[in-house]
A and B are shown apart, each in its own frame.
Chain A
Amino acid sequence: MPTEEEGKLFEDMMAFKEDVFLVCLGFSRDPSDAEDLTQDVYLRAYRNVGRIHTPYAVKEWLLRVARNTCLDHQKKKRIVRMFHERTSVSASLSGMEAPSDPAETNERLKALKQAICRLPKKLREVFVLRLYGDISYQELARTLGIKEGTVMSRLNRARKAVADSVKEELDGRKTG
């Protein structure tokens, strides 16, 4: 049971709920999964709020919790996803399809999600945290416990891999 001070700290954390949600979205590929994961992150944060020693680093700590929660979730779902990868992607995207959206955008989004999923773990976490969480290089380095230079190189490799993968996927569909 958190103390009054910890409760206040938890309230401060609620200000970052959209950042956490976006990070979860980047990892999960599905908005409803991302929302469930965000809830899990906040539940975990509520239980472990007493472990924060430096209140100014709340966002970094929270994003680290989010990243760990998402990776744990992915680990659990890895086997199931191997078999249902295609159906889950199409199902998730069909759920978020708005009537005004062109079909082409959905195709590209689908390709993007698949490309992110194919990235190795180290590249994927940097890519998602940077592009979905809008985290600076410095924050990213602190969150992941790596050097800024490593963050940049990983991000570059991730971007290139995603761009190639999306291009291949879309070209394949057009020709196929």
Chain B
Amino acid sequence: MGEKQDDRAFEDIAGLIREDKERALERFRKGDFDQKIRARIAAVSDGERRPLVRRLLVPVSVVLLFMVAAGALLLLSRRRTTAPLGGPGRMMTVLGGLPGISELALPKEAIPPATMPTSGAARTVWTVLTLAIEQKEAEEKKSVVPTGPIKVPRLSLEKKMEILFKDKVIERVLVSILRKSEEV
């Protein structure tokens, strides 16, 4: 009895659904679905069809960014080893050979340690440059002739005589001019 009632109820529901479907389908068939969906797909495709450069811009940028980041991390994580040929020492030798720097004496504690770079080579360059700047400033203030070993070329006896002769001539001329000016 109950089963029959259930069957009748199901049939009733199935009939309702059939009716609902028929009504909706009738309406659906009237509207041109194919045309609508094609227009919508075309609109979406136009939006997605961007120039190649613009499409590649973001992925390429991201890849580059990752590569730079990876490179930076690699450099940071890499153990620092001493450079061949002595590293900072070699640098000092090269810098010492440069004119103007070769005459500088490098005091070890000239600069406070806190402000100095930690890297060996950078520390050497920084010390040399700071010292050169300080010395130049001192020269400008005091107008003192720089001390230190000056290389003097060796002269022959004849050359020395020539210089002395010229020196005496200039001295006499200057003295005679001085006397004349006193008389005037």
Contact size range, A: 20 to 34
Query: What DSSP secondary structure best describes chain B's contact surface?
Result: helix
Cβ of B25 and Cβ of A160 under 8 Å apart? no
Residue among B13, B19, B24, B40 making CB contact with A159, cutoff 8 Å: B13
Does B10 lie at the interface of the complex (its beta carbon under 8 Å from any beta carbon of A)?
yes
Contact size range, B: 20 to 34
| Contact partners of B14 in chain A: CB under 8 A | 131
Does A146 lie at the interface of the complex (its beta carbon under 8 Å from any beta carbon of B)?
no
Cβ of A22 and Cβ of B23 under 8 Å apart? no
Stretch at the interface among A69-77, A82-90, A161-169: A161-169
Cβ of B40 and Cβ of A43 under 8 Å apart? yes
Does B90 lie at the interface of the complex (its beta carbon under 8 Å from any beta carbon of A)?
no
Cβ of A112 and Cβ of B41 under 8 Å apart? no
Residue among B6, B27, B45 making CB contact with A160, cutoff 8 Å: B6
| Contact partners of A43 in chain B: CB under 8 A | 37, 40-41, 44
Q: Which residue of A lies closest to B8 (CB)?
A: A163
Cβ of B16 and Cβ of A109 under 8 Å apart? yes
Query: Given the complex of chains A and B, what is the CA–CA distance between A137 and B25 in angstroms?
Result: 23
Cβ of B6 and Cβ of A21 under 8 Å apart? no
Measured between C-beta atoms, what is the minimum distance from A17 to chain B in Å?
6
Query: Given the complex of chains A and B, what is the CA–CA distance between A42 and B40 in angstroms?
Result: 10
Residues of B1-50 whose CB lies within 8 A of A: 6, 9-10, 12-14, 16-17, 19-21, 23-25, 27-28, 31, 33-34, 36-37, 40-41, 44-45, 48-49
| Contact partners of A132 in chain B: CB under 8 A | 17, 21
Cβ of B6 and Cβ of A31 under 8 Å apart? no
Measured between C-beta atoms, what is the minimum distance from A32 to chain B in Å?
8
Residues of A90-112 whose CB lies within 8 A of B: 96, 98, 105, 108-109, 112
Q: Which residue of B lies closest to A14 (CB)?
A: B34
Cβ of A131 and Cβ of B17 under 8 Å apart? yes
Does A12 lie at the interface of the complex (its beta carbon under 8 Å from any beta carbon of B)?
no
Cβ of B37 and Cβ of A96 under 8 Å apart? no
Residues of A16-61 whose CB lies within 8 A of B: 17-18, 21-22, 25, 31, 34-35, 38-39, 42-43, 46
Cβ of A112 and Cβ of B20 under 8 Å apart? yes
Does A1 lie at the interface of the complex (its beta carbon under 8 Å from any beta carbon of B)?
yes
With contacts A96-B27, A112-B13, A163-B6 taken as known, whether A46 is within 8 angstroms of B41 at the C-beta atoms is: yes
Residue among B9, B10, B20, B28 making CB contact with A21, cutoff 8 Å: B28
- Give 5 closest A-B pairs by Cβ, nearest first: A163-B9, A31-B24, A42-B37, A25-B24, A112-B16
- A sample of 20 more A-B contacts (CB under 8 A), given A39-B36, A112-B17, is A1-B48, A14-B34, A17-B34, A21-B25, A25-B20, A25-B21, A25-B24, A31-B28, A34-B24, A35-B28, A38-B33, A42-B41, A43-B40, A43-B44, A131-B17, A132-B17, A159-B10, A159-B13, A163-B12, A166-B9
Which residues from chain A sit less than 8 Å from chain B, CB to CB?
1, 14, 17-18, 21-22, 25, 31, 34-35, 38-39, 42-43, 46, 96, 98, 105, 108-109, 112, 131-132, 159-160, 162-163, 166-167
